[in-house]
Amino acid sequence: MQASARNIIDTVPHPLLVLDANLRLILANPAYCLTFGCTSPAVEGYSLFEIDGGRWNRPSLRTLLGDVINRNSFFIDYELECDCPRVGRREFVLKAHRVFRDEGGRHMVLLAIEDDTELHRIKDELRQSKIELEDQGKAMDRQLRDLARSVESTRHQTLLQSELKIAALEQKARDLANFVEGLRNQTRLQADAKIALLMQKAQDLAVSVEALREITLQHSDSQIAALDQSEKVTSRLNEELERSALERNRQLEAANRELEAFCYSVSHDLRTPLRALDGFSRELIESHSDRLDEQGLHYLRRIRAGTQRMGRLIDDLLKLSRVTRVEMTRERVDLSALAETVFAELQELEPGRVVSFTVGPGLFAECDFALMRVVFENLLGNAWKFTSKNPTAAITFDQTEVEGQRAFVIRDDGAGFDSAYMGKLFGAFQRLHSDRDFPGTGIGLATVQRVVHRHGGRVWAEGAVGRGAALYFTMPGSEYRI
């Protein structure tokens, strides 16, 4: 294995293993040795399934790695849980690709091991929080239903008692009116007796009115107390929701800070050896080319091309990371105008190409302008690149309807792709065409997918070899053509 490649792998801060075609260790980087408490000499040369007490000896992993060697497949989501000497029980995600050949012309496998323990913990906490909030919501719903039934029952009871009291008062009022009418024909002695009775009935009437008022006040107090209890329950649940949201925000901010620090580390730690390789190779070509034969110069040019490509891969990886972390500002964006602007920039770079570009007018969406520009730069850039072999080409941007949902589509009549490999299309660093035919790093569509998903939309593709491609994406808040 070349020393330059080994130096690059050694700088990666995550565990990496390089395996030969028989799945024996060629290289274990320092991050692997630190994580799993071993040394390179203790594991290199041994089968992957023999080291670390058989930690990796899993039948399913054997099968997947065999496919990587024999069928040039890959995997990015093999999950495994195991104990580590330094940090205890951890959860890992394994990713493997067949990357290059060793000096003997045999294939080798790059196996990356990512620690997903913290991500699983946050997901578990979010799931538990969701369950707790749902339970609290159900409890509050039951309390509100009970409160509603109590208030309704109290209201009916109050109305019934009030109606009975009012009926009794009406009867007493009628009796009083009849009594006053009868006084006109009574003697003084009879009148005094009647007046005494009248005073007693008046007192009874006053007592009845006061009793009615007390009934109303008592039930009003009961309703107020019930409503007050409901408000307290609602306030307590809102406070718990706010505390939970603040805690999740703090965890997200911490995760973003860790991601930003990791990206800085990748950028700095990997670029330094790359710059050295590129600089010394250039110096050899410029100052010592007369002392090298043609094969030596060819090797130096390949080293420079490889380091420059690695630099572009690092740049694209950082761009993909920034797309995930940047703060979004939604606004009404004219997608038709944005598409025309991006295409004009492509045309300026290659004014000699004959490309027809058609844009549907009046297409708008509620989205982040800067992130949507990234989408169009990648999608139109791909259409421009994959039609470059055509003497004349056609690219369109318009809207359509898919399963009752508004979708935007960019079509071209370029190289297209084999739909059998659709699963690779939106993966990071996955390419369906050779770098000689169409240069690139394979990060563009992965970036597009992340931007569209952040907006709550989805993205997919249709195509056939030699018949062009169509890239669709949806954007919640998009409008019909005006």
Over its length of 482 residues, how does the chain's per-residue pLDDT go in tens digits? 566 677 778 888 889 999 998 999 998 999 888 888 888 888 889 999 999 888 899 999 999 999 988 888 888 888 988 887 766 788 989 999 887 665 666 788 989 998 888 887 888 788 887 888 788 878 777 887 877 677 677 766 766 766 676 666 567 656 655 655 565 555 455 555 555 565 565 566 555 555 555 554 454 555 555 556 656 656 776 677 677 767 766 766 665 566 566 665 666 666 677 777 778 888 888 888 888 888 888 888 888 877 776 776 676 666 656 666 678 889 999 999 999 999 999 999 889 999 999 999 999 999 999 899 999 998 999 899 889 889 999 999 999 998 888 899 999 998 888 777 677 777 655 555 555 656 666 677 888 988 998 888 999 999 888 888 999 999 886 554 43
Give which of 319, 283, 324 is closest to 442, Cα–Cα.
319
Residue 414 lies in a domain: yes
Of 115, 142, 175, the one marking the end of a domain is: 115
Residue 18 lies in a domain: yes
When divided into structural domains, the chain yields a total of 3
**Residues 173, 69 within the same domain:** no
Of 234, 252, 270, the one marking the end of a domain is: 252
| Maximum separation of any 2 CA atoms in the chain, in Å | 151
What do you get for the CA distance between the two ends of the chain, in Å? 61
**Residues 65, 106 within the same domain:** yes
**Residues 372, 236 within the same domain:** no
Give which of 412, 399, 423, 417 is closest to 480, Cα–Cα.
399
CATH number for the domain including 391? 3.30.565.10
Look up the domain containing 339 and give its range. 328-473
Of 203, 234, 252, the one marking the end of a domain is: 252
Q: Which residues of 76-88 are buried (b: 16+ CB within 10 A; e: fewer)?
A: eebebeeebeeee
Residue 275 lies in a domain: no
CB 109 within 8 A of CB 98: yes
The model carries a pTM of 0.43
